[in-house]
A and B are shown apart, each in its own frame.
Chain A
């Protein structure tokens, strides 16, 4: 294909920045409308990806490769697989909604905010489509800067602390990963005599287990911080709670996926033997994350914090599914990435809407809202149930596949994780009940307006997709199946330990 389609998708927001920058800084509504138009156009531009990607075709499609820094063998190298397609579409789908949701919340430095949102989009998409490890790293760090500003300028009270913490956590993980990338790069050079950062080239070599372990742990650290896996999650509640609504949404829906996606696309395929050796440990951390996140969510008096901790729990499921190393589990994990993006994204939107009405996130201050805001209550209910994993909605599909996949290899892990599902139902429903039902204790809740048109425009599209995936996930599963199969195949029969099947390793207590 001669049109550099992926480049267009990645860099259209940067072009959009020029348009937004041309609007005078005092005309706030014009800036918002312009950004909305850019993001909608961007979504429209990226939508054909759904059809252009042929699941029966090559592993990486729409590939673009041009030399960038020849002395180091660095290519500008992009390409998508089935999972990438879904994540790119998730991102472009959520951006217009995020802009809409910021319409009234952001009233200071409006222009800067929207410019940063667009820059952030470019950074995120670049991370997803990069096939060259150097390019991947560049985008990985690039998206850090706008997010740092979004939290630090438009966030809540402790925003500076949260922004710096977010930055430093990601930065240290990223830099260590860069060193690991270099080690791998020179290892590849010593074997083959060519300099290359291309994922495809680096996948082709066999790395001894000892080196694999070190590199997997280093890559894994960068991604585990981002996911976040227990015990690297401590930045997340701060960042989530302090970030403005749209920031939280993007953080939860897209940025966290970069961690799991990094495991899926880089860490595990590059170091499959290490991944298999460390499987019990990774799975254990994932299960701890599921249970720990759920239990902390249980006692949160603050809706936003509760949702933030529920993220830790849900991402634990995604990790667990990835490390099932069978098609069912990984499929579930991929679907769960999208699900979490949709339902947790929607939950953060809902938190923002409550905050705009009452300027608080405390569960205590609400109660009985369902009688004053019936439409809101309905949508909130659907999203809550989706997050819990009620059959018929998207969450069920992902969690079910993950548990089935994990049950085949590590039944006790799956058993423990199930407890997380039950806890999730408990804390989500309890929160929902305390916010929406019961008597209206607080007089200021009585006159709250129901959802406006703008707010409906934010939530309804998400609800539609939630129901779609829940009822008919086949198109999503079909798109990702070949990629997932290749992933599983690569992990289970490549390299040095390709004998036993499935590997019996004692899980650490």
Chain B
């Protein structure tokens, strides 16, 4: 063998065991680049973009779907080998554990559904640019790394990778003033919040001498905390609060959700939220478990504020994307309730809720996309949703199902998610918080029902529009409907999975 290759082989031997940990990430990254490169060849072909068309991405959509599917296969492979693979890799940067694997799978399923919905959308809106798919996949890579990060630096890098992609996607319909405004707002506020995050991380590093989450947990210890340490924790909470849109850090989200293309809004509402929430949970459970008594009251207040502000503000919205934006704020509040419980049950509820939330929210957005027409997303509930259920019985029924699931009516995923969160809260002695969550849910029932009322009991305004739902979007809708019902009717297996996935999360169990 060529001796000059020896150092390379040694290096490979060194990282070889680590490679298995990032197979899904690598696969998705490779295919995102492949999508971009394939576009270059297509542009050289005889058929250029037609009048009014942007780009000519033919392969990109399918390559990206393939990449995500392969990523999912790899995740399943990791999940099956979890007992041998669990541990930390790349000098503690990446951790493979049930929590990460479960939520990575949720994110990839969400990405897949987003892509399926996107294809028809892009064709309708004449946005055939490979960059779009590249950015979706790269954001997904950021999300995957975020849920598997075991180090603050890694968390920061992954968060940025995810965010930058989404900033651009928000403004993708660049000829619209609203899209530009939304993207700019998102970018500026996002950068601002990152500042908080980095400053907090710097403080924590200065005080504990490490970026590693588990080592930080040891250094933080239990008992009394210095004010500076709490300041660092607070700043990091603010940073994450922006990303997952907790009140009072939520101001950006309705504008941004409205500005972004509808499939991307769904992607942001689920993927970004799942990933950022996962990192926050891991950070709190691993590094600051000893100071739980310090952050639980803070999260308690944030949860109540988020639930009520989100739900009350949603009542007044006529634009369904804005309504869903506020609703997703409210759901962030419910997720925080699960974190407040600070128990194995609470974490299982948290993970389960994220999966349920992903299915029902993406499903709702899939319907929103399907009901739009070229150049007009038709998002006014009072104007565009009147009598929809009779023009499109299947879309209407699916939307009703998602709305009932978001409300929390059995037998849907949303119901069992809420039930699990209630259980965790009551178990941890936060009965008052559970009761507040009940009142918040009742408020939410009102505006979710408005959509159902419009679809089933309203009449169309003006000439009713019939839409053709693309085959890919039909697949996405079926997948989300099945997901919502499967998680709701047979939650047992999913709950066991969620419980197993969070087994190692708490009490410094993330140590290598």
Contacts and interface: CB of A to CB of B under 8 A. Distances in A.
Interface string B413-429: 00100010011001100
B205 interface: no
A145 B411 CA distance: 11
B457 A141 contact: no
Interface string A103-147: 000000100000000000000000000000000011001101100
A142 B410 contact: yes
A251 to B, nearest CB: 18
Contacts of A142: 409-411
B422 A179 contact: yes
A70 B492 contact: yes
Contacts of A160: 453, 457
Contact of B422 (A145, A159, A164, A178): A178
Given A144-B409, A179-B431, A172 B492 contact: no
A58 interface: no
Contacts of B244: none
A421 B276 CA distance: 64
Contacts of A109: 390
Contact of A71 (B442, B446, B449, B499): B499
A47 B415 CA distance: 34
A182 interface: yes
A100 to B, nearest CB: 25
A149 B456 contact: yes
Contact of A152 (B404, B453, B491, B495): B453
Interface in B399-455: 404, 407-411, 415, 419, 422-423, 426-427, 431, 434-435, 438-439, 441-442, 445-446, 449, 453
B409 A141 contact: yes
B492 A68 contact: yes
A182 B434 contact: yes
A148 B445 CA distance: 12
A7 to B, nearest CB: 15
A30 interface: no
B442 A186 contact: no
A153 B456 contact: yes
B53 interface: no
A479 to B, nearest CB: 31
A183 B441 CA distance: 19
A159 B457 CA distance: 9
Contacts of B423: 72, 182, 185
B442 to A, nearest CB: 4
B350 to A, nearest CB: 15
A22 interface: no
Nearest to A187: B426
B64 to A, nearest CB: 36
A175 B492 contact: no
B422 A137 contact: no
B495 A69 contact: yes
Which of A68, A137, A160 has most chain B Cβ within 10 Å? A160
Given A69-B491, A142-B410, A153-B457, A167 B422 contact: no
B456 A175 contact: no
Contacts of B499: 71
A153 B459 CA distance: 11
Given A153-B456, A160-B453, A176 B435 contact: yes
A188 B407 CA distance: 29
A460 interface: no
Given A109-B390, A172-B442, A183-B431, A164 B449 contact: yes
B391 to A, nearest CB: 13
B461 interface: no
A168 interface: yes
Interface in A85-112: 109
B410 A164 contact: no
A171 interface: yes
Contacts of B408: 175
Interface residues of A, number: 32
Contacts of B457: 152-153, 159-160, 163
Given A138-B410, A160-B457, A145 B445 contact: no
A72 B495 contact: yes
A175 B441 contact: yes
A222 to B, nearest CB: 11
B438 A172 contact: yes
B404 A145 contact: yes
Contacts of B410: 137-138, 141-142
A167 B495 contact: no
A153 B456 CA distance: 7
Contact of B445 (A152, A159, A171, A176): A171
Contact of A168 (B409, B435, B446): B446
Contacts of B434: 179, 182
A144 B442 CA distance: 14
B438 A179 contact: yes
Nearest to A71: B495
Interface in A167-204: 167-168, 171-172, 175-176, 178-179, 182-183, 185-186
B303 to A, nearest CB: 15
Given A68-B492, A109-B390, A141-B410, A175 B446 contact: no
Contacts of B16: none
A56 B499 CA distance: 45
Interface string A267-296: 000000000000000000000000000000
B493 to A, nearest CB: 9
Nearest to A179: B434
B456 A167 contact: no
A14 to B, nearest CB: 12
A163 B491 CA distance: 30
Interface string B472-492: 000000000000000000011
A138 B409 CA distance: 8
A159 B458 CA distance: 11
Contacts of B456: 149, 152-153
Contacts of A171: 407, 441-442, 445
A176 B441 CA distance: 11
Contact of B446 (A68, A137, A164, A186): A164
Contact of A183 (B426, B453, B495): B426
Given A69-B492, A109-B390, A171-B442, A178 B419 contact: yes
B510 to A, nearest CB: 23
Given A145-B409, A149-B456, A152-B456, A168 B442 contact: yes
Nearest to B397: A112
Contact of B426 (A68, A71, A186): A186
Contacts of B438: 172, 175-176, 178-179
B435 A186 contact: no
Nearest to A151: B457
Nearest to A139: B410
B427 to A, nearest CB: 5
Interface string A47-76: 000000000000000000000111110000
Contacts of B427: 182, 186
Contact of B453 (A141, A164, A182): A164
Contacts of B407: 171
Interface of A: 68-72, 109, 137-138, 141-142, 144-145, 148-149, 152-153, 159-160, 163-164, 167-168, 171-172, 175-176, 178-179, 182-183, 185-186
25 contacts: A69-B492, A137-B410, A138-B415, A141-B409, A141-B410, A142-B410, A149-B456, A153-B456, A153-B457, A163-B457, A164-B449, A167-B445, A168-B442, A168-B446, A171-B441, A171-B442, A171-B445, A172-B439, A175-B408, A178-B422, A179-B426, A179-B434, A179-B435, A179-B438, A183-B426
Lowest 3 A-B CB distances belong to which pairs?
A182-B426, A138-B410, A175-B438
Given A137-B410, A183-B431, 6 more contacts: A72-B423, A149-B456, A175-B408, A178-B422, A179-B422, A185-B423
Interface of B: 390, 404, 407-411, 415, 419, 422-423, 426-427, 431, 434-435, 438-439, 441-442, 445-446, 449, 453, 456-457, 491-492, 495-496, 499
